[in-house]
Amino acid sequence: MPSARTAPFQVRGRFLTVLALRIDSDVADDAFHAQLGEQLGRTPQFFSGAPMVLDLAQAPGLQDPDRIRDLVERLRKRDLRVFGVQNAPGLDAGLLGDLGLIPVSTGRDAPIAREPAPAPVAAAPALPRPAENKVIRSPVRSGQMVVADQGDLTVIGSVASGAELIAAGNIHVYGTLRGRAMAGCHGNENAHIFCQSLDAELIAIAGLYQTSETLDGAARDRCTHIYLENEKLRMEVIA
Amino acid sequence: MTSEAKKDAPLGRVIVITSGKGGVGKTTSSAAISAGLAKQGFKTVVIDFDVGLRNLDMIMGCERRVVFDFINVIQGDAKLKQALIKDKRLETLFILPTSQTRDKDALTKEGVEQILNELKAEFDYIVCDSPAGIERGAQMAMYYADEAVVVTNPEVSSVRDSDRVLGLLSSQTKRAETDGAEPIKAQVLLTRYDQARVDSGEMMTVEDVLEILAVPLLGVIPESKAILKASNVGTPVVLDEPSAASRAYEDAISRLTGTQVEMRIQGERRPGLFQRLFGRAT
């Protein structure tokens, strides 16, 4: 069990493949599903077959066996691979087993291994671990993936459609961002994305994402600063 | 103009003609570029890497002269000299056809390297006509390249595929894997360019394409009937009668050899019309 529990979350930086659905309503009625369907319909290929965890912190009422059973069935019908549940202490293990769900106790709110433990020699606890920033001096091409696992990522050049940037910290692009950029991949909500011209397929900070279809029209093709505020992605045109 | 240079040691430059996407004009460009280089006096060989879908021999007009092929040489069934076909029009031009019956697994890194080394000792330019895609055939065609010509049409899917290929050129090739080696010199050749469709917004502009690909422009080849006609009769377009396309290729080839040529984007229509009128008058 433990290995199955952590494996889906340890795919470093590829948190896109594990989505968390935080439910804020105690009742998952038809209106809820209609609204969800609408949201999924906007980017169907993104959600199709995506592994998903249910976060019930705001919806203790859904711990009712019948309600959770109904919810999981309906989500799975939408081709969402619900495999885990979070913040639901009231659900008993037998029921979870029946539904094929795993209780997941970690999540974005409790990021796993933000920094690996410092080397025993440098045991001085106050000493901050130097960030391992990465600077790429050439364009990032379609199909390429650049990961800065422990720091910021700076690209001097454009990021092509179909390319992917992943960073634990901030992402800076001195060029046009046409691909995907995911900052704060270990859950850092204070991560920012900066780009000289925004035309991204997808941007995400700490797992909260927007696709090109939902990008702020005002920021398109502009020099933009993207950050999180009240769990929402904000885009600010800065030049 | 290079007849003196010819007597020196051969240049032995390997140029891959690649694109990712199919149908953008790789084989046509390989034929035109190799013929154009040979026409300038460079001893040139063009190799077809599209094992199983042999086409270059037809574009070059030597399909009935193929006895042994590239794969026969790799597998040791024939000597390189036996497989090389000498062009009937230019004595500095050779074609190394591929097999129509095998598949791309027949290409081995060692085999390709050995043949390229043999060819480098004798030729100025070795032009590798890559198959479409990014699988084995295309990887083998680009692996040992010194230069790359990325053939791109002015439309989004072709540009994206070219971008992908540029990424592979800078990561999955001998030069990329060798520490301290100069990276492959990649240039983009824009083909099937139609000024009227660019003006009407149906096609991407040269600037749009270059902005995305961020590599130098080797040339812009206009969409032209002359290309189809030349292919059908098995003549590289630069050896056929002059057309806007053949002039554009000649310019691109000069740039490839390091000559500065002003970039001019010619449409077929205007000079064509002018030529027709002029032709009638005389």
Q: For A195-210, how does the pLDDT look when each residue is reduced to its tens digit (9 = 90+)?
A: 999 999 999 999 999 9
Letter for the amino acid at A196? Q
Q: What are B172's two structure tokens?
A: 């999955």
Spatial neighbors of B131 by CB under 8 A, at least 6 apart, are B49, B50, B51, B53, B104, B137, B138, B141
- With a pLDDT cut of 90, the percent of chain A lying above it is 38
pLDDT tens for residues A64-101? 888 888 888 888 888 888 888 888 877 788 888 888 88
pTM: predicted TM-score of the whole model, two decimal places: 0.70
Q: 3-state DSSP call for residue B264?
A: coil
pLDDT, residue B279, reads 46
pLDDT tens for residues A137-189? 999 999 999 999 999 999 999 999 999 999 999 999 999 999 999 999 999 99
pLDDT at A116 over 80: no
pLDDT tens for residues B110-151? 999 999 999 999 999 999 999 999 999 999 999 999 999 999
Q: Does B170 touch chain A (CB under 8 A)?
A: yes
- Among B167, B170, B214, select the one facing A142 at the smallest CB separation: B167
ipTM over 0.85: no
Q: 3-state DSSP call for residue B115?
A: helix
Phi, psi angles (nearest 5°) of residue B270: -65, -55
**B20 φψ region: left (φ > 0), alpha (ψ -120 to 50), beta (else):** left
H or E stretch covering B214: none
Q: How many CB pairs under 8 A join A and B?
A: 32
Within 10 Å of residue A100's Cβ, how many Cβ atoms? Answer: 12
Confidence of residue A2 (pLDDT cuts 50, 70, 90): very low
Mean per-residue pLDDT over chain A, rounded: 81
C-alpha torsion A73→A74→A80→A82, nearest 10 = -40
From chain A, pick out residues whose CB is under 8 angstroms from the CB of B171: 144
Give A156→chain B minimum CA distance, Å: 12
pLDDT, residue A110, reads 43
B79-87, Cβ contacts within 8 angstroms, sequence gap of 24 or more: B80/B115, B80/B118, B80/B119, B84/B45, B85/B57, B87/B35, B87/B38, B87/B60, B87/B62
Highest-scoring range by mean pLDDT, A18-22, A36-40, A73-77, B143-147:
B143-147
pLDDT at A17 over 70: no
Within 10 Å of residue A171's Cβ, how many Cβ atoms? Answer: 29
From chain A, pick out residues whose CB is under 8 angstroms from the CB of B164: 141-143, 162
pLDDT, residue B2, reads 45
Q: Does B214 touch chain A (CB under 8 A)?
A: yes
Reference B104, options B67, B77, B130, B65; nearest CA is B130
pLDDT, residue A9, reads 62
Q: What are B146's two structure tokens?
A: 């010194």
From chain B, pick out residues whose CB is under 8 angstroms from the CB of A180: none
Chain B window 146-165: which residues touch A at a Cβ cutoff of 8 Å?
A: 160-161, 163-164
Q: What are A11's two structure tokens?
A: 């795919």
Spatial neighbors of A73 by CB under 8 A, at least 6 apart, are none
pLDDT, residue A63, reads 81
Q: 3-state DSSP call for residue A51?
A: strand
pLDDT, residue B184, reads 95
**Closest A-chain CA to B211:** A158
H or E stretch covering B129: strand B125-129
Interchain proximity B163–A160, CB inside 8 Å: yes
pLDDT, residue A56, reads 82
Q: What are A58's two structure tokens?
A: 């705001």
Between CA B127 and CA B133, with CA B131 as vertex, the angle to 5 degrees is: 135
From chain A, pick out residues whose CB is under 8 angstroms from the CB of B168: 143
Positive or negative torsion for Cα B90, B94, B98, B99: positive
Question: For each of chain B's 282 residues, which pLDDT tens digit applies?
Answer: 444 445 577 899 999 999 999 999 999 999 999 999 999 999 999 999 999 999 999 999 999 999 999 999 999 999 999 999 999 999 999 999 999 898 888 999 999 999 999 999 999 999 999 999 999 999 999 999 999 999 999 999 999 999 999 999 999 999 999 999 999 999 999 999 999 999 999 999 999 999 999 999 999 999 999 999 999 999 999 999 999 999 999 999 999 999 999 888 765 455 445 555 554 443
Which of A10-19, A122-131, B179-188 shows the lowest per-residue confidence on average (mean pLDDT)? A10-19
Pairwise pLDDT comparison (A26 vs B213), residue with the higher score:
B213
pLDDT, residue A100, reads 84
pLDDT, residue A95, reads 82
From chain A, pick out residues whose CB is under 8 angstroms from the CB of B157: none
Mean per-residue pLDDT over chain B, rounded: 90
Which of A9-18, A111-120, A177-186, B35-44 shows the lowest per-residue confidence on average (mean pLDDT)? A111-120
pLDDT at A112 over 50: no
From chain B, pick out residues whose CB is under 8 angstroms from the CB of A139: 214
Mean pLDDT over A7-17 rounds to 54
Q: Assess contact for A50 and A21: CB atoms under 8 A.
A: no
Confidence of residue A126 (pLDDT cuts 50, 70, 90): low
To probe the interface with A, which of B18, B164, B171, B172 has the most A CB atoms within 10 Å?
B164
pLDDT, residue A105, reads 67
Spatial neighbors of B256 by CB under 8 A, at least 6 apart, are B15, B33, B37, B147, B149, B187, B218
pLDDT, residue A70, reads 85
Spatial neighbors of A129 by CB under 8 A, at least 6 apart, are A115, A118, A150
Confidence of residue A32 (pLDDT cuts 50, 70, 90): confident
Interchain proximity A141–B170, CB inside 8 Å: yes
Q: Report CA-CA distances (Å) from A156 to A172, A226, B87, B213.
A: 8, 18, 46, 14
Place of tokens 């390189």: B80
Beta strands in A93-238 (DSSP E): 102-104, 134-136, 145-148, 153-156, 164-167, 171-177, 180-183, 193-198, 202-205, 208-211, 224-229, 232-237
